[in-house]
Structure 1
Amino acid sequence: MLHTGRNFFDNEEVFENYWQLRGRNVNANALLEEPVIEELLPAVNGLSILDLGCGDGQFGERLLQRGAASFFGVDAAEKMLTRAKERLSGTNSTLLHGTFEEVSLPEGQFDLVLSRLALHYVDDLASVFEKVQKSLISGGKLIFSVEHPLQTASTHQQGATPEGLLIDDYFLSGAREIEWLGGRVQKFHRTLEDYFITLQQAGFTVETLRESKPKREVFPTEAEFLRRSRYPLFLFLVGQKR
């Protein structure tokens, strides 16, 4: 059965496999994605923050503990939001169920919008960026991570081969169907240029572009560090509302 970003993580097998993967000592999110997000984040004290793809609310909890004034989380997976509501109970937080395309966001309210490894499930990215731009205060920022375009381009691979990463159909942007975590899910491939230009056209000045270049000090073994140094897994962009 093919799942979309809306219902993929509500599949029981996928949900359990996801948390097993995240619970490993060596996982890409913790070693490659999160360190860059932390570097890109400004001081959050007093900020009103929107998180598109808030998951179980772990990161929202951390931001509130650091002094964020409020947290607004959106997620399409009911299983994720159930955990988030339990975790964030009693905090200055709002949680909304729905896809990024369909939810209504308050305009001119947020200082910072985050989205971590969620926007590659979105078909109409331009409309989401435009909605986010309207939700930000003047000068507010959007920080997001996605699977690197080199990862999403080809459907002929599940990770790297011993010879390297197979890159195919890179300039053919659009839907891709892959097997992952015990399910079949639809993601959307875009080139690096696509992300950059779509962000600009939505009214953002692109401030920063980063990739998930590994740092030796966060890896438990030299072998794992070298394995993760072969090709990028994640892409990061920071845009400021013009």
Structure 2
Amino acid sequence: MERKGSKAYDEEAFFQEFMKRRYRTDSPNLSIEKPALLQLIGNPKGWTVLDLGCGDASLGLDLLEQGCTSYLGIEGSNKMFEEAIRVLETTNGKIELSSMEYYSYPPEAFDLAVSELAIHYAEDIETLFQSIFQTLKPGGRLVFSVQHPLLTSSFTSSESGKSRSSWVVDDYFHSGKRVENWMGEQVVKYHRSIGEYFSSIVNAGFKIESLIEPKPDPQNFSNPEEYKRRMRIPLFLLFSCTK
């Protein structure tokens, strides 16, 4: 059965396996993507923050510890929602159970909108970016990461539970739905090229400050062979934008 967006995480076995992989030693999320995302965000002190597809809200905990004034995470998975509440229970951070597509975006309410590896689950990014634009204060920023389009273009080389030693790039310019066999579930994602992300962001009214494909840092890896493997292909694409 296909699982769209965050719904795969409500399957107990999938949720447990994801959490184990997410926080494993040399996880690319922790060693490559998150350091790059935090660098793009900069100092959040005094900011009001909206986190779209917040997962377990670990990013929210980091931002609150760094001094953001308020944090609201939007999460569509019941299990992730419950985990996020647990993670933030000693803070003033808040979580709302909703998909980013159906969240009611208040006008000019936030200084920063952030999204970590979630927007590639959204089918309509044109409307999504427009909603984010109107919910930011003048001068507000959008910083987000997605799975790199070289990976979402084709799932031919995907072998669930195994480390890839080769990658297939195919159908790159054919945008749209992809179904990935990931950890025992058929997970729906949406592929678009780097240029399509760029155009959708600009069409919504944003000015793009940075576009990066973060390069692995050997200091963030305990296993030299894993570092070498991660140097072979970009895993993530990140944007920093201003209203």
**Aligned-residue offset at 1:90:** 5.0
What CA RMSD, in Å, does the superposition of the two structures yield over aligned residues?
A: 1.4
- Residue type at the aligned position of 2:65: Q
Partner of 1:143: 143
Q: Report Cα offsets for 1:189-228 as digits up to 9, x if no partner.
A: 0000000000000010011000021111111132111100
Q: Which moved more, 1:82-91 or 1:209-218?
A: 82-91
Partner of 2:181: 179
The answer to whether the 8 A contact 1:105-1:131 is kept is: yes
- Superposed, 1:1-242 pairs within 5 Å as 1-89=1-89, 91-158=91-158, 162=165, 164-241=166-243
Percent of residue pairs bearing the same amino acid type:
37
**Aligned-residue offset at 1:92:** 2.6
Q: Which moved more, 1:201-210 or 1:77-86?
A: 77-86
TM-score, normalised via structure 2 length? 0.95
**Aligned-residue offset at 1:31:** 0.9
Unpaired runs of 5+ residues, structure 1, are none
**Aligned-residue offset at 1:111:** 0.5
Count of residues in correspondence between the two structures: 240
Residues 10, 211 of structure 1: alpha-carbon distance in 2 compared, 3 angstrom cutoff: same
- Where does structure 1 differ by over 3 angstroms across 4 or more consecutive aligned residues? 159-162
SS in 2 for 1:172: coil
The answer to whether the 8 A contact 1:209-1:236 is kept is: yes
**Aligned equivalents of 1:106 and 1:53: distance in 2?**
17
Q: Report Cα offsets for 1:147-182 as digits up to 9, x if no partner.
A: 0000000131216864x4211000000000011122
**Aligned equivalents of 2:70 and 2:94: distance in 1?**
8
Q: Which moved more, 1:192-201 or 1:56-65?
A: 56-65
- Residue type at the aligned position of 1:64: L
**Aligned-residue offset at 1:23:** 2.8
**Aligned equivalents of 1:90 and 1:17: distance in 2?**
26
Unpaired runs of 5+ residues, structure 2, are none
The answer to whether the 8 A contact 2:155-2:168 is kept is: no
SS in 2 for 1:138: strand
Q: Which moved more, 1:124-133 or 1:16-25?
A: 16-25
